[in-house]
Structure 1
């Protein structure tokens, strides 16, 4: 009887071990299947998800922006706006076939153009690349000490490099008027010239913020649409929304007591004939991306962030 019980106990132990082994094998299969499924999911290619189309679009846009910047930097004396447009179209006609060939190897179609479908927006550039008093901008079109830089249009690359700013009660003023909102940017020196301040006020409200450069500066770079002063973020400048609004941009105040340099790119027709109106403000280029799973067509708007 004892032997029988021993056999039964052995069989039970053997059966239990078998069940446990089967359970472990089953669990391993379940975990492995889950891991395999996860691997397949994470290995889903960027082409299938469509993110490759976006990345390709951004890469092509960056290339076109660099070229349009180069086109706009050609000297005005030897280049017209028409010649700039022809040069840009020529690039599109050459870049399209190259993109076709490059991406075809990976089973995708990437194309831009045709060049006949490329359109342009007219623009102009104000460039005071040498140091000097800002009263050289005053053409007395709007009264003494006031000059319109942009008239109800988009603007970008609004960058001042000040080498001298007014002190005391005097100031150098830049007004950005969108019609519904008006911002006043004021530049002045305080503390006997030991600190230069940039203040942005919204007309008709209590909004006012100031950024200050200390240490008796000899130069101050104010990138208005980049919202930086000497490369550092300036919260006050963030209020002026260049991408959203058209502006009437004017300068006024103590222009003769303010010296430095200025770069500005405006859209449309310049308010003064002394501004370079031969540049291309922006270009629009058809873009196509096709793969086995993605068909993406859009229009690239090429507008370089910096023309200097």
Structure 2
């Protein structure tokens, strides 16, 4: 009989191990960027134990927004600089095919618990926000050639009164030796007396580059990296707050309190490299002040949550790596 008990215990442990492995596998599948109604059901179920209150409405909203942002990034990441109409239509269709099943699944799930939750395209039909990719894809100084004379302009504006995302800079060389002469990216409020954020790059020695961010309230943050010299390059990712792939205190501090700003380059002749960014205005707009390619900036999705005690409606703005 002892042997039987031992075998049973082993069987139980084996079943527990298999069950644990199954749960882990399901969890890993749920992490995939490609959103499906089946994986989203698991996400919705996590809210079932919450009391129907305002915080639940916000929690569901945040989950929907995060999943849609991941899916948008998966569909549109790497979109061609100037996509053909057929390519653009195909990408938009892929995103719509995620949105509509998600809306149906969300509504059905929460209806069982006395809540009306709806995720749809805006009534006006303006699901997608058209935008522009402003880029310098070959190594050059960050100055702008005059359209008439070709003379490089040190201080220039890339776009006005825009939202900004996917801002990345590859710094390949830097000659400035002080903050006053350093290359500066300025995010300036369109208001005449509004606040501004600046990011300045300059040398602090023969082998060191300092990155300095200054905020509108007098805040000042810095970090240092090896000075780019043509063989050593430094990537700056504004949204991630990283320089050279690691955390940079100066970039991580960037938190504009407004959504729209002018994107300005100052002392562009003192730095060379490449850059990419996307703004929420098409190239044909007067807001875009330089050459750019048409791309999709983001999406706007209508979110509604109603219960016996809570009524909440808002527009979700889907824009991966947005600087806010």
- State the TM-score bracket (shorter-chain normalisation): 0.5 to 0.7
In the other structure, the counterpart of 2:16 is none
In the other structure, the counterpart of 1:110 is 117
Write the distance in 1 (CA, Å) between the matches of 2:187 and 2:227: 29
SS for the counterpart of 1:186 is strand
Higher helix share: 1
Residues 219, 245 of structure 1: alpha-carbon distance in 2 compared, 3 angstrom cutoff: same
In the other structure, the counterpart of 1:123 is 131
In the other structure, the counterpart of 2:261 is 247
Shift of 1:144: 2.4
Residues 209, 272 of structure 1: alpha-carbon distance in 2 compared, 3 angstrom cutoff: same
Write the distance in 2 (CA, Å) between the matches of 1:81 and 1:242: 34
Which residues of structure 1 form unaligned runs of 5+? 1-43
Match of 1:276 among 290, 293, 296: 293
Q: TM-score, normalised by structure 1?
A: 0.66
1:96-149 per-position Cα deviation (integer Å, ceiling 9, x unaligned)? 222233334545432212565453433222245x562234x6232596234422
How many residues are paired up?
A: 257
Cα root mean square deviation, aligned: 3.8
1:189-231 per-position Cα deviation (integer Å, ceiling 9, x unaligned)? 2321x1111234579x987654322588823233335544343
Indicate whether 1:229 and 2:243 are aligned: yes
Write the distance in 2 (CA, Å) between the matches of 1:224 and 1:114: 30
Larger radius of gyration: 1
Residues 272, 81 of structure 1: alpha-carbon distance in 2 compared, 3 angstrom cutoff: farther
1:160-199 per-position Cα deviation (integer Å, ceiling 9, x unaligned)? 232322254663232333232344432122321x111123
Shift of 1:296: 3.2
Describe how 1:75-224 pairs up with structure 2 within 5 A. 75=80, 76-79=82-85, 83=89, 85=92, 87-113=94-120, 116-119=123-126, 120-128=128-136, 132-135=139-142, 138-141=144-147, 144-168=153-177, 171-178=182-189, 179-180=192-193, 181-192=195-206, 194-200=207-213, 209-214=221-226, 218-224=232-238
Shift of 1:247: 2.3
Q: In the alignment, is the contact (CA less than 8 A) between 2:171 and 2:272 conserved in 1? A: yes
Residues 290, 215 of structure 1: alpha-carbon distance in 2 compared, 3 angstrom cutoff: same
Q: In the alignment, is the contact (CA less than 8 A) between 2:173 and 2:227 conserved in 1? A: no
In the other structure, the counterpart of 1:304 is 320
